[in-house]
Amino acid sequence: MVDLPIQNDCIYSALFTPATAGGELDTDRMKELVRFEIDHGVEGFYCCGSSGEGLLLEKEERMKIVEIVAQEAGDNVPFIVHTGALSTREAITLSKHAEKNGASAVSLIPPIYYKYKQEEIFQYYKDVVDAVGLGVIVYNIPQFTGISFSKGNSVLEDEKIIGIKHTSMNLYELERIKQAFPKKMIINGFDEIWLYSLTAGATSTIGTTVNVCSKLLRAIKNAFDKGEIPQAQGLQSKLNEFIETLVNINVFPAAKYCMNVLGLDIGNCRKPFGTLTSLEKTMIEDAMQKISDFL
């Protein structure tokens, strides 16, 4: 197993990507956002993933974000970089850049759009693993990619695949992976099942709402660790009521607007995402009021 400066018990923010009014990367607000989140209890960052609109960004923008996070996070918190791409060549370029800038690990969705054979998907990961000295985390998000990773997947057998970001409601599959690979990081990817993923073997989480209310997700973990399950369930329900509002609107634009409510205007999601209505913004503000103790 690769020895890495990465925590196996961490609340990682699936970091947003701030945008200017014209839809360009806002580097100044990116710096502010990283500092803001560290000050509010975020324990690590996951850059350029789904919440960061990674696949809507240019390669150069993704690299710039990594450089900013490296500069602002420094030695304070670990950061993981999502380097998944349509081509192996670009995935390797992004992964090498992440390594050069001090990332704790890289994480990749499988190659998408074309219908690849299982061995081709395996080779995609192996090529990245062989190209960098960092550990690699598989990003399992089957509802977006159409590809699901289970304990029988040969990709997970490589020792430089240090873990899996399991963004799936299938907790049976998570538990089976944990039992098959007890030394690998099992990272939850859906905030709405954070508590229940802990019972199945997850120890860390990477989430959209961590940007907004990391204290609430940490409170769920603390209650679970103390065996205070009814307390943990109540907190998870509180989080889920908030998440339900965001999901009903459109989770990524809605969650991004939460930062505006907290006083840090990070703009809209990149097109083809649309903008929120006044009614939707009011709904988000009302939902945030219900978790105000954790903001």
What was the pLDDT predicted at 4? 43
pLDDT at residue 154, rounded to an integer: 86
The overall average pLDDT reported for the chain is: 96
> What pLDDT, on the 0 to 100 scale, is given for residue 8?
79
**pLDDT tens digits, 181-203:** 999 999 999 999 999 999 999 99
CB 162 within 8 A of CB 185: yes
Give residue 2's pLDDT: 43
pLDDT at position 279 is 98
Q: Known catalytic residues?
A: 139, 165
The predicted pLDDT at position 75 comes to: 81
pLDDT at position 78: 95
Task: State the 10-residue block means of pLDDT for the chain, 295 residues long.
Answer: 63 98 97 97 97 98 98 91 98 98 97 96 97 97 96 91 97 97 96 98 98 98 98 98 98 98 98 98 98 97
Per-residue 3-state assignment (H helix, E strand, C coil) for the chain: CCCCCCCCCCEEEECCCCECCCCCECHHHHHHHHHHHHHCCCCEEEECCCCCCHHHCCHHHHHHHHHHHHHHHCCCCCEEEECCCCCHHHHHHHHHHHHHCCCCEEEECCCCCCCCCHHHHHHHHHHHHHHCCCCEEEEECHHHHCCCCCCCCHHHHCCCEEEEEECCCCHHHHHHHHHHCCCCEEEECCHHHHHHHHHHCCCEEEECCHHHHHHHHHHHHHHHHCCCHHHHHHHHHHHHHHHHHHHHHCHHHHHHHHHHHCCCCCCCCCCCCCCCCHHHHHHHHHHHHCCHHHC
Q: What is the pLDDT of residue 74?
A: 76
Q: What is the pLDDT of residue 3?
A: 46
For 46-70, write each residue's pLDDT tens digit.
999 999 999 999 999 999 999 999 9
